A = this chain, B = another copy of it.
Amino acid sequence: MRISELSARSGVAIPTIKYYLREGMLHQGVQTSATRAEYGESHLRRLRLIRALLDVGRLSVSSIKKVVAAVDDESLPIHEMLGIAHYALSPGAQPEPGEDWQQARSEVDRLVEDLGWDITPDAPTRDELAQTLVRMRQLGMEVDLAPYVETAGRLVSEVEMDKIPFDGPRDAAVEALVLGTVLYGRVFDALRRMAHESESAARLGS
Q: Which residues of B contact A51 (CB under 8 A)?
A: 135
> When the two chains form their complex, are residues A79 and B125 in contact, meaning their CB atoms are under 8 A apart?
no
> When the two chains form their complex, are residues B181 and A196 in contact, meaning their CB atoms are under 8 A apart?
yes
> When the two chains form their complex, are residues B125 and A197 in contact, meaning their CB atoms are under 8 A apart?
yes
A89 to B191, CA, bound (A): 13
> When the two chains form their complex, are residues B166 and A132 in contact, meaning their CB atoms are under 8 A apart?
no
> When the two chains form their complex, are residues A195 and B118 in contact, meaning their CB atoms are under 8 A apart?
no
Q: List 15 A-B contacts (CB under 8 A).
A: A49-B139, A51-B135, A56-B135, A79-B204, A82-B200, A89-B193, A118-B202, A129-B191, A141-B163, A141-B183, A147-B155, A148-B184, A161-B199, A177-B196, A177-B200
A contacts, CB < 8 Å to B: 11, 45, 48-49, 51-52, 55-56, 58, 78-79, 82-83, 86, 89-91, 93, 96, 112, 115, 117-120, 123, 125-126, 128-129, 131-133, 135-136, 138-139, 141-145, 147-149, 151-161, 163-164, 166, 176-177, 179-181, 183-204, 206
